[in-house]
Chains A and B, each alone.
Chain A
Amino acid sequence: MNHSNWKSELLNTLETERLLPREVISACGRVGEELKRAEIRSRLISLLTLGGLSEREAANRLEQAEKMLRPESLERLMALEFGPGWESEFSPGLAEGRLFSESDRRYVQKWRPLGVIFHIGAGNMDGISGFSALEGLLTGNINLVKLPGTGDPVSAWLAEELIRLEPKLSCFLYLFPIRSDDRKAMEELAAAADAVVVWGGDEAVRAVRQSVSPGTKIVEWGDRLSFAYLPAASINGELDQSLRLLARHIAGTDQLLCSSCQGIFVDTEKGGTLLEVGRRFLKALETEYAARAPKTLEERKRQAAIALELRTGELESLHERKRILRGRHCSVTVYGDSRLEPSLQYGNCWIRPLPASSIVSGLRPYKGKLQTVSVLGIQNLEESAASRLEERLLAAGAVRLTSPAHLSVSYEGEPHDGEFSMRRYAKRVSVQIP
């Protein structure tokens, strides 16, 4: 796309145009209809699998997208974030709105778009930039979208369809396929924006924090980590069933998502218990992974990188507190420490001790990094104990608690990393009225 004069267009749009949520919702509805077509579906699934997702996960993701684009879902989403009067909240004019009065003064409060939002998508996930921009559109913003240097065909498709089906969106949505290290272009885009939305790892977030001038809002959707927690009371219960569900979730996402389980913290200090849980977990992982021999060169390269890590870990276990349990095309590394870190992914998990009494102190160092926790066998706990444990995990920094099968399954109206995301793309304005 060529946007040589985007800067002047942008000012013009700010001055003369208004984008209402309703207009975006109906455009999304039409895109959703497109998504139901078989040839579009298969094209998008192949794009997503090229991006590294399993076919099952890609189909899953597409289904979620299709659901999300339905007008009734988007309406509910708007209602959840901005209240049942969301349409009048964003409607033009300041006459109607939520009224406040104090002595003889009267005020109206309404939601308004921030103005211009610059979205920086994560390199690791197709479609993120597109959906980030969609939230910006729903709140009436002009969206400048940086596509990863490697391209993001899914986001590009979504944007093109939206504009094709609702031409008005063309002056609210700009795609820029630029590289993150093209500092000049990045700074130019950031300078034009009211808010910079950044998805990605620490490095991407740090770079944005350093280059964005004060006064420009930064919305960070950084990398997060998720894990399972095994309370002492569940260790001897129906553990294998929970582990099977957890393994199935792991195989479904290959531990690539922020919500993917990286490993299990066990409520114990005994090395023997950890090893025992590790062996049972490995068995469950093998059920999912044993048949997954690498086929392509890319898969072999990945397998080799993991093999080098495992071999190195085995040798290091002679002088460090860790133990590697190898399975067919999967592994479990049992550590003596309680660090929270990404696993080797693709069915290579960790197990670590974390006694319930140390949950808060042990996890606080990672407070901004925690996302989902799945408590295994929570049904084995008494209600009060379960709720105490869950509150502790939330106090430590977790923002989502789910069952082992549903770590990466979302629902309509779910907050994102502990926030209602669209509210961050809008401002609450207050206007004194006569």
Chain B
Amino acid sequence: MNGAADISLIHFLLIYLLLLIILAVMKHCQVNQTRLLLVASLRMTVQLVIAGFILTYIFQHPQPLFTSAYILLMILFATHRVLSKNKWLNSRFRLTILASLALAVLPVLAYFLLAVVRQDLFNPQYAIPLSGMMFGNAMTGLNLGLKTFKESMDSERLQIETLQNFGVQPKKILMPFINQSLETALFPTLNSMVGMGIVSLPGMMTGQILSGTLPTTAILYQIAIMIACCTVVSLSVFGALYLGYRTLYNDRAQMNWQNAKP
């Protein structure tokens, strides 16, 4: 099979014309997110160009230090993205999220690389893109899980206060909210697994096929990464919520999640 066809810069730039269609739809529907669209497109371009140069350098000079540093950067960036969307979290909860992301992704990544793909742990060609997919999914799962957790607690504030007043352990009060949030966080990943191959050809598989990999090999990678991503989402959300909920009450079992300060 042939590798992916080279795209010349001029032809590549043509893809940006599609943004005009999005702008037209936004204008027609009075969606005032033009600035966000432009900023997002620009940021994506700049970030990916930088990533492309850095990855090219790392692939040409494979060093465990470079791979580790890149993964560490991804941990910090993913954590930052989650925290910036969940400003209500207290400082201990924030640390829990950082730890959960790292402790969920790193062991699964190591298992994937050493046992499934049978590659060196620090091989940047495998370790970096695979961990990127895992962090991306974990980040989405955490955002969704934490959003659901907060919103459900806010909407059931009276229930929480009443149970607290009636002498119920905080753990017992919060556990149903945690379980519901975990379910919600897992739902998109599980849903995409259901539709995969029929509704969509996922990004990783598409990329591999474009670069010349046999579809039969590409599906093996895709199945493996989907299961790994689902595991990572469940572990990171589980870890963050099951460890983080303890930071929402003090030693006098008084709960406070609304006035938490960073």
Partners in one complex: no
B-side interface residues toward A, CB under 8 Å?
A: none
